[in-house]
Amino acid sequence: MPRSLRFLVFAVLVSLSSVSHAQGVPVSPAVELANLREDVRLLTQRLGELSIRVEQLEAENARLVSTAAGAQQNVATLTQLNTAISDLSRDIKAASAQTKSEVLAVVAVQMENLAKQTNTALDAVSRNRAPSPASFADNFPKEGVSYTVQPGDTLSRIAQKTGARVADIINANKISDPSRVQVGQVLFVPGGK
C-alpha cells in the first residue's frame, strides 16, 4: 500500500477510535476491527475511484495540451497564410502591371504599323490621281456648238471633227482629266462647227 494511503488509513482509524471513545460507548476489539476493515475497504474503494478520476483528468489534460499545441500551430499557419496571400497579391499586381505594359507596347506597334499603312495608301491614292489644273483659262471663244460624246471619242478626235482646239474644250468644260470623257456626255465646243 502506498505511503500516503497508509497515512490516510491511520488518520481515519485514529479519528474513529477517538469518536467511539468520546461517545463513551464501549466497543469490543472484534467490532472495532470489523469497523476498521470496513472503513479501510470503503477508503480503498474511494481511493480507486479517485485514482480513476485522476487518470481521466490526466488524459483530459493531455488532450487539452495537445489541442492548445495544435491551436498554436494553427496560429502559425494562419500567419503563414496571411503572408502567402500578401505575397500572392503583390505578385498578381506586378504581373498585371507587366501585362498592361506588354499590351500597351503591342498596341503602340500595331498603331504605328496602321499609321504607316494609312500613309502608304494615301500616298498611292495621291500618286494615282491626275493632277487637276489649279485654274482653267478663260481665253476661249464664247461661241461654239454642243457635242455629245460618242463611243471611241477622245478630246483630240472631237477637236478634229469640230475644228476646235483641245485646250479650248478643256477650259470651257473645266475637264480635270482629259483622258476620261464619258460616252453620252454633252460638251461645249468653243469655235466648233
pLDDT in tens, 9-56: 666 656 655 555 555 667 788 888 888 889 889 998 998 899 999 999
**What is the pLDDT, as a whole number, of residue 33?**
87
What amino acid is encoded at 129 in this protein? R
Q: Is the CB of residue 187 less than 8 Å from the CB of residue 149?
A: yes
User: Which range has the worst mean pLDDT, 61-65, 70-74, 110-114?
Assistant: 70-74
Kindly state the average pLDDT of the residues 75-82. Answer: 79
**Letter string b/e over residues 35-70, b meaning 16 or more CB atoms within 10 A of that residue's CB:** eeeeebeeeeeebeeeeeeeeeeeeeeeeeeeeeee
Residue pLDDT, tens place only, 112-147: 999 999 988 888 887 776 555 458 888 899 999 999
**What is the pLDDT, as a whole number, of residue 58?**
94
The predicted model scores a pTM of 0.33
